[in-house]
Amino acid sequence: MYNEITPEQVEARLNNKEKFHLIDVRELDEWEEGHIAEAAHLPLSEIQERLDELPKDENIIFVCRSGGRSGKVCGFLAPQGYSVTNMTGGMLAWPGAIVTGA
Active-site residue numbers?
Answer: 64
Contact 23, 60 (CB under 8 A): yes
- The dihedral of CA 89, 93, 97, 99: what is its sign? positive
Type of residue at 6: T
Closest by Cα among 20, 27, 56 to 42? 27
